[in-house]
Structure 1
Protein backbone atom coordinates (compact mmCIF):
# COMPACT_ATOMS: atom_id res chain seq x y z
CA UNK A 1 0.00 0.00 0.00
CA UNK A 2 2.83 2.37 0.82
CA UNK A 3 4.67 1.67 -2.47
CA UNK A 4 1.50 2.18 -4.55
CA UNK A 5 1.17 5.79 -3.38
CA UNK A 6 4.73 6.56 -4.50
CA UNK A 7 4.43 5.09 -7.98
CA UNK A 8 5.35 7.66 -10.72
CA UNK A 9 2.57 9.20 -12.76
CA UNK A 10 1.58 7.02 -15.75
CA UNK A 11 1.09 10.05 -18.02
CA UNK A 12 4.59 11.44 -17.53
CA UNK A 13 6.85 11.71 -20.58
CA UNK A 14 10.37 10.35 -20.89
CA UNK A 15 13.26 12.55 -21.96
CA UNK A 16 13.31 11.06 -25.48
CA UNK A 17 9.57 11.75 -25.80
CA UNK A 18 10.04 15.32 -24.61
CA UNK A 19 12.83 15.71 -27.17
CA UNK A 20 10.49 14.50 -29.94
CA UNK A 21 7.85 16.95 -28.73
CA UNK A 22 10.40 19.79 -28.91
CA UNK A 23 11.47 19.01 -32.49
CA UNK A 24 7.80 18.73 -33.48
CA UNK A 25 7.40 22.38 -32.43
CA UNK A 26 10.49 23.26 -34.48
CA UNK A 27 9.17 21.18 -37.37
CA UNK A 28 5.83 23.01 -37.33
CA UNK A 29 7.63 26.33 -37.50
CA UNK A 30 9.28 25.52 -40.83
CA UNK A 31 6.07 25.99 -42.88
CA UNK A 32 6.22 29.77 -42.92
CA UNK A 33 9.87 29.74 -43.97
CA UNK A 34 9.29 27.23 -46.78
CA UNK A 35 6.25 29.16 -48.02
CA UNK A 36 8.40 32.27 -48.39
CA UNK A 37 11.36 30.44 -49.95
CA UNK A 38 9.18 28.84 -52.65
CA UNK A 39 8.71 32.30 -54.19
CA UNK A 40 12.41 32.36 -55.06
CA UNK A 41 13.32 28.70 -55.63
CA UNK A 42 12.01 25.42 -57.03
CA UNK A 43 11.17 22.61 -54.57
CA UNK A 44 13.95 20.16 -55.49
CA UNK A 45 16.70 22.79 -55.46
CA UNK A 46 15.53 24.06 -52.09
CA UNK A 47 15.34 20.54 -50.61
CA UNK A 48 18.83 19.88 -51.97
CA UNK A 49 20.30 23.05 -50.42
CA UNK A 50 18.50 22.49 -47.14
CA UNK A 51 19.73 18.95 -46.64
CA UNK A 52 23.23 19.69 -47.95
CA UNK A 53 23.58 22.23 -45.13
CA UNK A 54 22.09 19.75 -42.66
CA UNK A 55 24.45 16.98 -43.80
CA UNK A 56 27.54 19.20 -43.65
CA UNK A 57 26.57 20.40 -40.16
CA UNK A 58 26.15 16.80 -39.00
CA UNK A 59 29.50 15.86 -40.61
CA UNK A 60 31.25 18.61 -38.62
CA UNK A 61 29.66 17.39 -35.41
CA UNK A 62 30.49 13.71 -36.02
CA UNK A 63 33.70 14.04 -38.07
CA UNK A 64 35.64 11.72 -35.77
CA UNK A 65 32.99 9.00 -35.92
CA UNK A 66 32.96 9.07 -39.73
CA UNK A 67 36.33 7.30 -39.84
CA UNK A 68 34.63 4.16 -38.53
CA UNK A 69 31.90 4.10 -41.21
CA UNK A 70 30.57 0.58 -41.84
CA UNK A 71 28.41 -0.90 -44.59
CA UNK A 72 25.60 -1.23 -42.05
CA UNK A 73 25.80 2.52 -41.33
CA UNK A 74 25.82 3.31 -45.06
CA UNK A 75 22.92 0.99 -45.81
CA UNK A 76 20.73 2.24 -42.96
CA UNK A 77 21.53 5.89 -43.68
CA UNK A 78 20.86 5.48 -47.39
CA UNK A 79 17.51 3.74 -46.80
CA UNK A 80 16.33 6.45 -44.39
CA UNK A 81 17.69 9.18 -46.67
CA UNK A 82 15.66 7.87 -49.61
CA UNK A 83 12.50 8.02 -47.50
CA UNK A 84 13.34 11.55 -46.32
CA UNK A 85 13.80 12.63 -49.94
CA UNK A 86 10.47 11.19 -51.09
CA UNK A 87 8.67 12.50 -47.99
CA UNK A 88 9.93 16.09 -48.22
CA UNK A 89 10.31 16.20 -52.00
CA UNK A 90 6.91 14.83 -53.01
CA UNK A 91 5.08 16.88 -50.41
CA UNK A 92 6.76 20.07 -51.67
CA UNK A 93 5.97 19.20 -55.30
CA UNK A 94 2.34 18.52 -54.39
CA UNK A 95 1.98 21.91 -52.75
CA UNK A 96 2.57 23.55 -56.10
CA UNK A 97 -0.82 22.37 -57.40
CA UNK A 98 -3.05 21.69 -54.36
CA UNK A 99 -4.17 23.81 -51.42
CA UNK A 100 -2.42 23.67 -48.08
CA UNK A 101 -5.57 22.32 -46.39
CA UNK A 102 -5.83 19.43 -48.85
CA UNK A 103 -2.12 18.73 -48.42
CA UNK A 104 -2.48 18.70 -44.63
CA UNK A 105 -5.39 16.25 -44.85
CA UNK A 106 -3.51 13.89 -47.17
CA UNK A 107 -0.25 14.13 -45.24
CA UNK A 108 -2.20 13.21 -42.09
CA UNK A 109 -2.56 9.71 -43.48
CA UNK A 110 0.93 8.89 -42.20
CA UNK A 111 -0.60 8.68 -38.71
CA UNK A 112 -2.73 5.56 -39.29
CA UNK A 113 -0.18 4.10 -41.74
CA UNK A 114 2.67 3.78 -39.22
CA UNK A 115 1.05 1.19 -36.90
CA UNK A 116 0.39 -1.08 -39.86
CA UNK A 117 3.94 -0.69 -41.20
CA UNK A 118 5.23 -1.36 -37.70
CA UNK A 119 3.09 -4.49 -37.57
CA UNK A 120 4.47 -5.66 -40.92
CA UNK A 121 8.14 -4.93 -40.10
CA UNK A 122 8.37 -5.89 -36.43
CA UNK A 123 5.67 -8.61 -36.45
CA UNK A 124 4.31 -7.09 -33.27
CA UNK A 125 0.77 -5.84 -33.12
CA UNK A 126 0.62 -2.38 -31.51
CA UNK A 127 -1.39 -1.99 -28.30
CA UNK A 128 -5.07 -1.13 -28.80
CA UNK A 129 -4.57 2.30 -27.18
CA UNK A 130 -1.93 3.13 -29.79
CA UNK A 131 -4.51 2.50 -32.51
CA UNK A 132 -7.06 4.58 -30.59
CA UNK A 133 -4.52 7.41 -30.26
CA UNK A 134 -3.70 7.23 -33.97
CA UNK A 135 -7.41 7.37 -34.85
CA UNK A 136 -7.93 10.44 -32.65
CA UNK A 137 -4.85 12.13 -34.13
CA UNK A 138 -6.09 11.49 -37.65
CA UNK A 139 -9.56 12.85 -36.81
CA UNK A 140 -7.94 15.91 -35.26
CA UNK A 141 -5.79 16.49 -38.32
CA UNK A 142 -8.86 16.28 -40.58
CA UNK A 143 -10.60 18.95 -38.50
CA UNK A 144 -7.43 21.02 -38.47
CA UNK A 145 -7.25 20.90 -42.27
CA UNK A 146 -10.80 22.23 -42.54
CA UNK A 147 -13.87 21.18 -44.55
CA UNK A 148 -12.26 22.18 -47.84
CA UNK A 149 -9.77 19.34 -47.44
CA UNK A 150 -12.55 16.80 -47.87
CA UNK A 151 -12.96 17.80 -51.51
CA UNK A 152 -10.10 15.58 -52.67
CA UNK A 153 -9.62 14.58 -56.26
CA UNK A 154 -7.00 12.36 -57.83
CA UNK A 155 -4.90 14.92 -59.65
CA UNK A 156 -1.10 14.88 -59.81
CA UNK A 157 -0.78 16.97 -56.65
CA UNK A 158 -2.98 14.62 -54.64
CA UNK A 159 -1.21 11.50 -55.92
CA UNK A 160 2.32 12.70 -55.11
CA UNK A 161 1.21 13.93 -51.69
CA UNK A 162 -0.34 10.53 -50.92
CA UNK A 163 2.95 8.89 -51.90
CA UNK A 164 4.81 11.27 -49.58
CA UNK A 165 2.76 10.06 -46.60
CA UNK A 166 3.89 6.48 -47.21
CA UNK A 167 7.51 7.69 -47.31
CA UNK A 168 7.09 9.65 -44.06
CA UNK A 169 5.62 6.60 -42.34
CA UNK A 170 8.40 4.37 -43.72
CA UNK A 171 11.04 6.82 -42.47
CA UNK A 172 9.68 6.62 -38.92
CA UNK A 173 9.61 2.81 -39.00
CA UNK A 174 13.08 2.53 -40.55
CA UNK A 175 14.59 4.81 -37.90
CA UNK A 176 13.19 2.56 -35.19
CA UNK A 177 14.37 -0.55 -37.05
CA UNK A 178 17.99 0.62 -37.33
CA UNK A 179 18.35 2.92 -34.30
CA UNK A 180 19.90 0.39 -31.90
CA UNK A 181 22.02 -1.36 -34.56
CA UNK A 182 24.08 1.43 -36.10
CA UNK A 183 26.10 4.48 -35.11
CA UNK A 184 23.87 7.50 -34.51
CA UNK A 185 26.26 10.13 -35.91
CA UNK A 186 27.33 8.27 -39.03
CA UNK A 187 23.77 7.34 -40.00
CA UNK A 188 22.56 10.92 -39.49
CA UNK A 189 25.26 12.28 -41.82
CA UNK A 190 24.56 9.67 -44.51
CA UNK A 191 20.78 10.08 -44.53
CA UNK A 192 20.93 13.87 -44.77
CA UNK A 193 23.49 13.88 -47.60
CA UNK A 194 21.67 11.12 -49.50
CA UNK A 195 18.48 13.21 -49.42
CA UNK A 196 20.37 16.26 -50.68
CA UNK A 197 22.04 14.40 -53.57
CA UNK A 198 18.75 12.80 -54.65
CA UNK A 199 17.02 16.21 -54.65
CA UNK A 200 19.69 17.77 -56.90
CA UNK A 201 19.64 14.75 -59.21
CA UNK A 202 15.83 15.01 -59.47
CA UNK A 203 15.92 18.64 -60.68
CA UNK A 204 16.03 17.80 -64.42
CA UNK A 205 13.15 15.34 -64.00
CA UNK A 206 10.97 18.06 -62.47
CA UNK A 207 12.04 20.67 -65.04
CA UNK A 208 13.93 22.79 -62.53
CA UNK A 209 16.99 24.93 -63.12
CA UNK A 210 19.26 26.64 -60.61
CA UNK A 211 17.32 29.74 -59.51
CA UNK A 212 18.61 33.26 -59.61
CA UNK A 213 20.59 34.03 -56.47
CA UNK A 214 18.50 35.36 -53.62
CA UNK A 215 19.36 35.95 -49.99
CA UNK A 216 15.88 34.68 -49.17
CA UNK A 217 16.35 31.09 -50.37
CA UNK A 218 19.94 31.08 -49.14
CA UNK A 219 19.04 32.20 -45.62
CA UNK A 220 16.01 29.91 -45.53
CA UNK A 221 18.05 26.96 -46.81
CA UNK A 222 20.81 27.45 -44.25
CA UNK A 223 18.37 28.02 -41.38
CA UNK A 224 16.16 25.07 -42.23
CA UNK A 225 19.24 22.95 -42.94
CA UNK A 226 20.49 23.47 -39.40
CA UNK A 227 16.97 22.78 -38.11
CA UNK A 228 16.82 19.57 -40.16
CA UNK A 229 20.13 18.44 -38.68
CA UNK A 230 18.74 18.90 -35.17
CA UNK A 231 15.43 17.22 -36.11
CA UNK A 232 16.95 14.11 -37.70
CA UNK A 233 19.62 13.73 -35.01
CA UNK A 234 16.97 13.92 -32.30
CA UNK A 235 14.69 11.44 -34.10
CA UNK A 236 17.55 8.94 -34.49
CA UNK A 237 18.46 9.23 -30.81
CA UNK A 238 14.98 9.32 -29.31
CA UNK A 239 13.55 6.44 -31.35
CA UNK A 240 16.08 4.08 -29.79
CA UNK A 241 13.62 3.85 -26.90
CA UNK A 242 10.36 5.38 -28.17
CA UNK A 243 7.96 3.03 -29.95
CA UNK A 244 7.37 4.13 -33.59
CA UNK A 245 3.59 4.29 -33.12
CA UNK A 246 4.06 6.41 -30.00
CA UNK A 247 6.52 8.63 -31.87
CA UNK A 248 3.99 9.04 -34.67
CA UNK A 249 1.37 10.33 -32.25
CA UNK A 250 3.84 12.96 -31.03
CA UNK A 251 4.74 13.91 -34.61
CA UNK A 252 1.03 14.34 -35.33
CA UNK A 253 1.20 17.57 -33.31
CA UNK A 254 3.27 19.18 -36.08
CA UNK A 255 0.33 20.95 -37.80
CA UNK A 256 -0.94 22.11 -34.41
CA UNK A 257 2.30 23.98 -33.81
CA UNK A 258 2.30 25.17 -37.41
CA UNK A 259 -1.17 26.63 -36.78
CA UNK A 260 -0.07 28.30 -33.54
CA UNK A 261 2.98 29.85 -35.19
CA UNK A 262 0.88 30.88 -38.17
CA UNK A 263 -1.58 32.54 -35.78
CA UNK A 264 1.26 34.55 -34.26
CA UNK A 265 2.20 35.60 -37.79
CA UNK A 266 -1.33 36.86 -38.48
CA UNK A 267 -3.32 33.78 -39.53
CA UNK A 268 -6.62 33.09 -37.79
CA UNK A 269 -7.22 29.55 -36.57
CA UNK A 270 -10.97 28.79 -36.93
CA UNK A 271 -12.99 27.03 -34.25
CA UNK A 272 -13.00 23.77 -36.21
CA UNK A 273 -9.20 23.80 -36.36
CA UNK A 274 -9.02 24.47 -32.61
CA UNK A 275 -11.20 21.41 -32.05
CA UNK A 276 -8.81 19.39 -34.21
CA UNK A 277 -5.84 20.64 -32.21
CA UNK A 278 -7.57 19.56 -28.99
CA UNK A 279 -8.18 16.08 -30.44
CA UNK A 280 -4.50 15.73 -31.31
CA UNK A 281 -3.45 16.67 -27.78
CA UNK A 282 -5.99 14.15 -26.48
CA UNK A 283 -4.55 11.50 -28.78
CA UNK A 284 -1.15 11.84 -27.10
CA UNK A 285 -2.73 11.26 -23.70
CA UNK A 286 -4.82 8.32 -24.91
CA UNK A 287 -1.82 6.62 -26.53
CA UNK A 288 0.01 6.88 -23.18
CA UNK A 289 -2.72 5.01 -21.29
CA UNK A 290 -1.80 1.36 -20.86
CA UNK A 291 -3.25 -1.37 -18.61
CA UNK A 292 -1.56 -1.04 -15.24
CA UNK A 293 -3.71 -3.55 -13.40
CA UNK A 294 -1.26 -6.42 -13.85
CA UNK A 295 2.27 -5.02 -13.77
CA UNK A 296 5.23 -7.39 -14.08
CA UNK A 297 7.15 -8.54 -11.05
CA UNK A 298 8.83 -5.66 -9.27
CA UNK A 299 8.16 -2.19 -10.61
CA UNK A 300 9.31 -2.42 -14.23
CA UNK A 301 6.12 -1.30 -15.93
CA UNK A 302 7.15 0.37 -19.18
CA UNK A 303 4.56 3.13 -18.87
CA UNK A 304 5.92 4.03 -15.43
CA UNK A 305 9.63 3.62 -16.13
CA UNK A 306 9.54 5.85 -19.20
CA UNK A 307 8.44 8.73 -17.01
CA UNK A 308 10.88 8.15 -14.18
CA UNK A 309 14.29 9.77 -14.45
CA UNK A 310 15.32 8.26 -11.14
CA UNK A 311 14.81 4.63 -12.15
CA UNK A 312 16.46 4.06 -15.55
CA UNK A 313 17.59 0.51 -14.78
CA UNK A 314 15.38 -1.58 -17.09
CA UNK A 315 15.56 0.89 -20.00
CA UNK A 316 18.52 -0.44 -21.96
CA UNK A 317 17.40 1.40 -25.09
CA UNK A 318 17.38 4.75 -23.36
CA UNK A 319 20.75 4.11 -21.77
CA UNK A 320 22.27 3.39 -25.18
CA UNK A 321 20.81 6.62 -26.58
CA UNK A 322 22.20 8.63 -23.67
CA UNK A 323 25.68 7.21 -24.11
CA UNK A 324 25.66 8.11 -27.79
Structure 2
Protein backbone atom coordinates (compact mmCIF):
# COMPACT_ATOMS: atom_id res chain seq x y z
CA UNK A 1 0.00 0.00 0.00
CA UNK A 2 1.08 3.59 -0.55
CA UNK A 3 2.20 5.47 2.56
CA UNK A 4 2.50 9.15 3.55
CA UNK A 5 5.51 10.32 5.56
CA UNK A 6 5.20 13.12 8.09
CA UNK A 7 7.32 16.24 7.35
CA UNK A 8 10.86 16.11 8.74
CA UNK A 9 12.58 18.92 10.63
CA UNK A 10 14.27 20.05 7.44
CA UNK A 11 10.98 20.14 5.54
CA UNK A 12 9.28 22.13 8.31
CA UNK A 13 12.20 24.57 8.23
CA UNK A 14 11.80 25.10 4.48
CA UNK A 15 8.07 25.67 4.98
CA UNK A 16 9.00 28.46 7.40
CA UNK A 17 11.29 29.86 4.67
CA UNK A 18 8.36 30.09 2.25
CA UNK A 19 6.36 31.90 4.94
CA UNK A 20 9.13 34.51 5.18
CA UNK A 21 9.36 34.84 1.39
CA UNK A 22 5.62 35.30 1.06
CA UNK A 23 5.69 38.22 3.49
CA UNK A 24 8.58 40.09 1.84
CA UNK A 25 6.93 41.06 -1.45
CA UNK A 26 5.02 43.97 0.06
CA UNK A 27 8.18 45.27 1.78
CA UNK A 28 10.25 45.10 -1.40
CA UNK A 29 7.48 46.66 -3.48
CA UNK A 30 7.31 49.68 -1.16
CA UNK A 31 11.09 50.02 -0.79
CA UNK A 32 11.68 50.06 -4.57
CA UNK A 33 9.69 53.28 -4.77
CA UNK A 34 12.55 55.02 -2.93
CA UNK A 35 15.65 53.34 -4.40
CA UNK A 36 16.90 51.29 -7.35
CA UNK A 37 16.78 47.48 -7.48
CA UNK A 38 20.56 46.93 -7.53
CA UNK A 39 21.10 49.24 -4.57
CA UNK A 40 18.38 47.53 -2.55
CA UNK A 41 19.59 44.00 -3.39
CA UNK A 42 23.20 45.01 -2.66
CA UNK A 43 22.43 46.63 0.67
CA UNK A 44 20.15 43.77 1.70
CA UNK A 45 22.68 41.02 1.11
CA UNK A 46 25.70 43.00 2.31
CA UNK A 47 23.81 43.51 5.57
CA UNK A 48 23.11 39.79 5.72
CA UNK A 49 26.72 38.88 4.90
CA UNK A 50 28.26 41.29 7.40
CA UNK A 51 25.88 40.13 10.13
CA UNK A 52 26.82 36.53 9.39
CA UNK A 53 30.52 37.44 9.45
CA UNK A 54 30.13 39.01 12.88
CA UNK A 55 28.24 36.01 14.28
CA UNK A 56 30.37 33.25 12.73
CA UNK A 57 33.75 35.05 12.63
CA UNK A 58 35.56 32.19 14.35
CA UNK A 59 34.22 29.57 11.97
CA UNK A 60 35.11 31.75 8.94
CA UNK A 61 38.83 31.50 9.77
CA UNK A 62 38.77 27.88 8.64
CA UNK A 63 37.06 28.53 5.27
CA UNK A 64 38.39 26.14 2.63
CA UNK A 65 38.69 26.72 -1.10
CA UNK A 66 35.83 24.28 -1.70
CA UNK A 67 33.56 26.20 0.67
CA UNK A 68 34.56 29.54 -0.87
CA UNK A 69 33.90 28.21 -4.37
CA UNK A 70 30.52 26.78 -3.34
CA UNK A 71 29.50 30.06 -1.72
CA UNK A 72 30.56 32.06 -4.78
CA UNK A 73 28.61 29.81 -7.16
CA UNK A 74 25.41 30.05 -5.13
CA UNK A 75 25.96 33.77 -4.51
CA UNK A 76 26.03 34.48 -8.24
CA UNK A 77 22.65 32.78 -8.72
CA UNK A 78 21.18 34.69 -5.75
CA UNK A 79 22.39 38.00 -7.16
CA UNK A 80 21.09 37.20 -10.65
CA UNK A 81 17.70 35.95 -9.44
CA UNK A 82 16.87 38.83 -7.10
CA UNK A 83 18.21 41.49 -9.46
CA UNK A 84 16.35 40.18 -12.52
CA UNK A 85 13.09 39.84 -10.59
CA UNK A 86 13.40 43.39 -9.22
CA UNK A 87 14.18 44.71 -12.69
CA UNK A 88 11.17 42.92 -14.15
CA UNK A 89 8.82 44.22 -11.47
CA UNK A 90 9.57 47.77 -12.60
CA UNK A 91 7.79 47.18 -15.92
CA UNK A 92 5.34 44.28 -15.38
CA UNK A 93 2.59 43.52 -12.91
CA UNK A 94 3.13 41.38 -9.83
CA UNK A 95 0.76 38.70 -11.15
CA UNK A 96 2.65 38.48 -14.44
CA UNK A 97 5.92 38.29 -12.52
CA UNK A 98 4.56 35.54 -10.25
CA UNK A 99 3.50 33.43 -13.22
CA UNK A 100 6.83 33.73 -15.02
CA UNK A 101 8.92 33.21 -11.89
CA UNK A 102 6.89 30.05 -11.22
CA UNK A 103 8.60 28.47 -14.23
CA UNK A 104 11.37 27.40 -11.85
CA UNK A 105 9.03 24.66 -10.56
CA UNK A 106 9.31 22.45 -13.69
CA UNK A 107 12.90 23.61 -14.40
CA UNK A 108 14.38 22.32 -11.12
CA UNK A 109 13.73 18.57 -11.67
CA UNK A 110 15.18 18.85 -15.15
CA UNK A 111 18.34 20.54 -13.82
CA UNK A 112 18.50 17.99 -11.00
CA UNK A 113 18.34 15.21 -13.57
CA UNK A 114 21.08 16.79 -15.70
CA UNK A 115 23.43 18.02 -12.95
CA UNK A 116 22.90 15.56 -10.08
CA UNK A 117 21.75 12.55 -12.15
CA UNK A 118 18.74 12.06 -9.86
CA UNK A 119 15.60 11.33 -11.87
CA UNK A 120 12.45 12.42 -9.99
CA UNK A 121 9.98 9.77 -8.80
CA UNK A 122 6.52 9.49 -10.32
CA UNK A 123 4.80 11.18 -7.36
CA UNK A 124 7.37 13.98 -7.50
CA UNK A 125 6.18 14.72 -11.04
CA UNK A 126 2.56 14.62 -9.86
CA UNK A 127 3.38 17.04 -7.04
CA UNK A 128 5.27 19.36 -9.39
CA UNK A 129 2.35 19.40 -11.82
CA UNK A 130 -0.18 20.24 -9.09
CA UNK A 131 2.08 22.91 -7.60
CA UNK A 132 2.66 24.54 -10.99
CA UNK A 133 -1.08 24.56 -11.77
CA UNK A 134 -1.63 26.19 -8.40
CA UNK A 135 0.97 28.84 -9.14
CA UNK A 136 -0.71 29.62 -12.48
CA UNK A 137 -4.09 30.02 -10.75
CA UNK A 138 -2.58 32.22 -8.03
CA UNK A 139 -0.96 34.42 -10.65
CA UNK A 140 -4.39 35.23 -12.08
CA UNK A 141 -5.62 35.75 -15.63
CA UNK A 142 -3.59 38.94 -15.99
CA UNK A 143 -0.42 36.85 -16.04
CA UNK A 144 -1.06 35.65 -19.57
CA UNK A 145 -2.19 38.86 -21.20
CA UNK A 146 -0.26 41.57 -22.99
CA UNK A 147 2.95 41.72 -25.01
CA UNK A 148 6.22 40.01 -24.14
CA UNK A 149 8.83 42.68 -23.40
CA UNK A 150 12.08 43.21 -21.49
CA UNK A 151 10.44 42.79 -18.11
CA UNK A 152 9.06 39.39 -19.08
CA UNK A 153 12.39 38.17 -20.44
CA UNK A 154 14.17 39.36 -17.30
CA UNK A 155 11.69 37.49 -15.11
CA UNK A 156 12.06 34.30 -17.16
CA UNK A 157 15.83 34.49 -16.65
CA UNK A 158 15.08 35.02 -12.96
CA UNK A 159 13.21 31.69 -12.91
CA UNK A 160 16.25 29.95 -14.40
CA UNK A 161 18.48 31.57 -11.75
CA UNK A 162 16.16 30.46 -8.93
CA UNK A 163 16.17 26.91 -10.26
CA UNK A 164 19.97 26.95 -10.51
CA UNK A 165 20.22 28.27 -6.95
CA UNK A 166 18.08 25.43 -5.55
CA UNK A 167 20.07 22.75 -7.40
CA UNK A 168 23.44 24.32 -6.53
CA UNK A 169 22.56 24.55 -2.84
CA UNK A 170 21.80 20.81 -2.81
CA UNK A 171 25.07 20.14 -4.64
CA UNK A 172 27.27 22.53 -2.65
CA UNK A 173 25.78 22.29 0.84
CA UNK A 174 27.57 18.98 1.43
CA UNK A 175 31.00 20.41 0.55
CA UNK A 176 31.60 21.97 3.95
CA UNK A 177 30.25 23.98 6.86
CA UNK A 178 26.84 25.56 6.15
CA UNK A 179 27.77 28.72 8.11
CA UNK A 180 30.85 29.48 6.04
CA UNK A 181 29.16 28.72 2.71
CA UNK A 182 26.19 30.90 3.68
CA UNK A 183 28.29 33.94 4.60
CA UNK A 184 30.33 33.72 1.39
CA UNK A 185 27.25 33.50 -0.84
CA UNK A 186 25.58 36.45 0.89
CA UNK A 187 28.66 38.67 0.57
CA UNK A 188 29.11 37.69 -3.09
CA UNK A 189 25.46 38.47 -3.92
CA UNK A 190 25.59 41.85 -2.20
CA UNK A 191 28.96 42.85 -3.65
CA UNK A 192 27.97 41.93 -7.21
CA UNK A 193 24.79 44.01 -6.94
CA UNK A 194 26.68 47.09 -5.72
CA UNK A 195 29.41 46.69 -8.36
CA UNK A 196 26.77 46.42 -11.08
CA UNK A 197 25.22 49.80 -10.18
CA UNK A 198 27.55 52.01 -12.28
CA UNK A 199 27.38 49.53 -15.17
CA UNK A 200 23.56 49.75 -15.14
CA UNK A 201 23.62 53.52 -14.66
CA UNK A 202 21.96 53.31 -11.25
CA UNK A 203 22.82 56.08 -8.78
CA UNK A 204 22.72 56.29 -5.00
CA UNK A 205 19.18 57.17 -3.86
CA UNK A 206 18.19 59.99 -1.54
CA UNK A 207 18.15 58.94 2.10
CA UNK A 208 14.93 57.35 3.26
CA UNK A 209 14.15 55.38 6.38
CA UNK A 210 11.96 53.14 4.23
CA UNK A 211 14.79 51.58 2.23
CA UNK A 212 17.05 51.61 5.28
CA UNK A 213 14.56 49.66 7.42
CA UNK A 214 13.52 47.39 4.55
CA UNK A 215 17.06 46.41 3.51
CA UNK A 216 18.33 45.99 7.07
CA UNK A 217 15.34 43.93 8.19
CA UNK A 218 15.28 41.73 5.10
CA UNK A 219 19.07 41.43 5.30
CA UNK A 220 18.91 39.82 8.73
CA UNK A 221 16.04 37.62 7.57
CA UNK A 222 17.96 36.61 4.42
CA UNK A 223 20.93 35.49 6.52
CA UNK A 224 18.70 33.12 8.51
CA UNK A 225 16.88 31.93 5.38
CA UNK A 226 20.04 31.06 3.44
CA UNK A 227 21.51 29.34 6.51
CA UNK A 228 18.37 27.23 6.87
CA UNK A 229 18.32 26.39 3.14
CA UNK A 230 21.96 25.27 3.18
CA UNK A 231 21.30 23.12 6.25
CA UNK A 232 17.97 21.65 5.18
CA UNK A 233 18.86 20.84 1.58
CA UNK A 234 21.65 18.55 2.73
CA UNK A 235 18.88 16.06 3.48
CA UNK A 236 16.17 17.11 0.98
CA UNK A 237 16.29 16.69 -2.80
CA UNK A 238 15.98 19.77 -5.04
CA UNK A 239 12.67 18.44 -6.41
CA UNK A 240 11.14 18.04 -2.95
CA UNK A 241 12.46 21.46 -1.89
CA UNK A 242 10.94 23.05 -5.00
CA UNK A 243 7.49 21.70 -4.18
CA UNK A 244 7.76 23.17 -0.68
CA UNK A 245 8.98 26.52 -2.05
CA UNK A 246 5.95 26.60 -4.34
CA UNK A 247 3.93 27.49 -1.25
CA UNK A 248 5.45 30.99 -1.29
CA UNK A 249 2.57 32.64 -3.22
CA UNK A 250 0.09 31.03 -0.82
CA UNK A 251 1.60 32.97 2.07
CA UNK A 252 1.96 36.00 -0.19
CA UNK A 253 -1.79 35.86 -0.86
CA UNK A 254 -2.51 35.59 2.87
CA UNK A 255 -0.34 38.63 3.62
CA UNK A 256 -1.94 40.54 0.76
CA UNK A 257 -5.40 39.67 2.04
CA UNK A 258 -4.46 40.97 5.48
CA UNK A 259 -3.28 44.17 3.80
CA UNK A 260 -6.69 44.58 2.14
CA UNK A 261 -6.17 42.91 -1.24
CA UNK A 262 -9.08 40.76 -2.48
CA UNK A 263 -8.61 36.99 -2.60
CA UNK A 264 -10.50 35.60 -5.62
CA UNK A 265 -11.78 32.05 -5.89
CA UNK A 266 -9.01 31.12 -8.34
CA UNK A 267 -6.41 32.01 -5.73
CA UNK A 268 -8.08 29.75 -3.18
CA UNK A 269 -8.19 26.90 -5.71
CA UNK A 270 -4.54 27.55 -6.56
CA UNK A 271 -3.54 27.39 -2.90
CA UNK A 272 -5.37 24.07 -2.56
CA UNK A 273 -3.52 22.70 -5.61
CA UNK A 274 -0.17 23.61 -4.05
CA UNK A 275 -1.07 21.94 -0.76
CA UNK A 276 -2.21 18.87 -2.71
CA UNK A 277 1.10 18.89 -4.57
CA UNK A 278 3.06 18.89 -1.33
CA UNK A 279 1.00 15.97 0.01
CA UNK A 280 1.23 14.04 -3.27
CA UNK A 281 5.02 14.30 -3.31
CA UNK A 282 5.10 12.61 0.11
CA UNK A 283 3.24 9.51 -1.13
CA UNK A 284 5.51 6.50 -1.55
CA UNK A 285 4.13 4.00 -4.05
CA UNK A 286 4.85 0.35 -3.25
CA UNK A 287 7.63 -1.25 -5.24
CA UNK A 288 6.61 -3.82 -7.78
CA UNK A 289 7.24 -7.38 -6.61
CA UNK A 290 9.22 -9.55 -8.98
CA UNK A 291 7.36 -12.74 -9.94
CA UNK A 292 8.79 -15.93 -8.53
CA UNK A 293 10.37 -18.31 -10.99
TM-score band, normalised by the shorter chain? over 0.9
**Cα shift at 1:293:** 5.2
Structure 1 stretches (4+) deviating beyond 2 angstroms? Answer: 292-295
Number of positions where the alignment pairs a residue of Structure 1 with one of Structure 2: 288
1:161 counterpart SS class? helix
CA distance in 1, matches of 2:166, 2:146: 26
CA distance in 1, matches of 2:146, 2:165: 25
**Cα shift at 1:15:** 0.2
What TM-score, normalized to structure 2? 0.96
Aligned to 1:124: 118
**Residue 67 and residue 265 in structure 1: after superposition, are their counterparts in 2 closer, same or farther (change >3 A)?**
same
**Cα shift at 1:92:** 0.4
What TM-score, normalized to structure 1? 0.87
**Residue 221 and residue 187 in structure 1: after superposition, are their counterparts in 2 closer, same or farther (change >3 A)?**
same
**Residue 60 and residue 271 in structure 1: after superposition, are their counterparts in 2 closer, same or farther (change >3 A)?**
same
CA distance in 1, matches of 2:270, 2:249: 10
Asked if 2 retains the 8 angstrom alpha-carbon contact of 1:27 and 1:231, the reply is no
CA distance in 2, matches of 1:214, 1:92: 19
Aligned to 2:264: 270
The answer to whether residue 91 in structure 2 is matched with residue 94 in structure 1 is no
CA distance in 1, matches of 2:270, 2:4: 25
CA distance in 2, matches of 1:235, 1:215: 29
Aligned to 1:194: 188
Asked if 2 retains the 8 angstrom alpha-carbon contact of 1:102 and 1:152, the reply is no
Asked if 2 retains the 8 angstrom alpha-carbon contact of 1:87 and 1:167, the reply is yes
Match of 1:53 among 47, 53, 59: 47
The answer to whether residue 135 in structure 2 is matched with residue 146 in structure 1 is no
Aligned to 1:78: 72
**Cα shift at 1:198:** 0.6
CA distance in 1, matches of 2:149, 2:17: 32
Aligned to 1:40: 34
CA distance in 2, matches of 1:61, 1:292: 46
User: Mean Cα displacement is larger for which, 54-63 or 244-253?
Assistant: 54-63
Q: How does 1:1-20 map to 2 (within 5 A)?
A: 10-20=4-14
CA distance in 2, matches of 1:202, 1:154: 25
CA distance in 2, matches of 1:272, 1:119: 32
Asked if 2 retains the 8 angstrom alpha-carbon contact of 1:134 and 1:249, the reply is yes
CA distance in 2, matches of 1:44, 1:217: 12
**Cα shift at 1:101:** 0.7
**Cα shift at 1:49:** 0.5
Instruction: Name the structure with the higher helix share.
Output: 2
Which consecutive unaligned segments of at least 5 residues does structure 1 have? Answer: 296-324
CA distance in 2, matches of 1:148, 1:124: 35
- Two-structure CA RMSD over aligned residues (Å): 1.4
CA distance in 1, matches of 2:223, 2:258: 25
Aligned to 1:242: 236
The answer to whether residue 243 in structure 2 is matched with residue 256 in structure 1 is no
Aligned to 1:162: 156
